[in-house]
Amino acid sequence: MRLCSGLAAIFAGASTASAPAWKHRNVWGGFSFRAQWLEVADAPGGLVGITTTRQEPLPLRLLRGLDTTALSGRQRQIALLLADGMSHAQIAQQLAISHHTAIAHGRRIYEKLDVHNRAGLVTRLLAS
């Protein structure tokens, strides 16, 4: 509805009106819609162009980066939890493993991916 009222303002001659936009976020990511009147000669009433952009959710981008690594299934699972900010204790509790096992997996993940901390892990996964 906001897109339509913005377009109507532009069509009515509001020279200061900018192209109307609407943003929506759901589990598939963030979406942006921007509408504009297209000036076409001999077109009665004109045409409307709508540009749509999608921002992929971070967990999906991280999963895509994990696909390019040589990590085992369990290591991928733990890497995703580490990238999400979970502590080793929380990871151990969620996966029903010992705290020391969670730490050992984390060390192997860092070693395999040649990173030194969580920020490096996230950067490495997003760059893949």
35 contacts: CB under 8 Å, gap ≥ 6: 3, 6, 7, 19, 20, 21, 48, 49, 50, 51
Please report the pLDDT score of residue 20 as a whole number. Answer: 79
CB atoms within 10 A of CB 101: 15
pLDDT in tens, 77-115: 999 999 989 999 999 999 999 999 999 999 999 999 999
Q: Which amino acid is at 37?
A: W
Domain ranges of the chain: 2-55, 58-127
CATH architecture of 58-127: Orthogonal Bundle (1.10)
Mean pLDDT of 7-34: 73
Please report the pLDDT score of residue 49 as a whole number. Answer: 80
Entry pTM: 0.61
pLDDT at 5 over 60: yes
pLDDT at 15 over 60: no
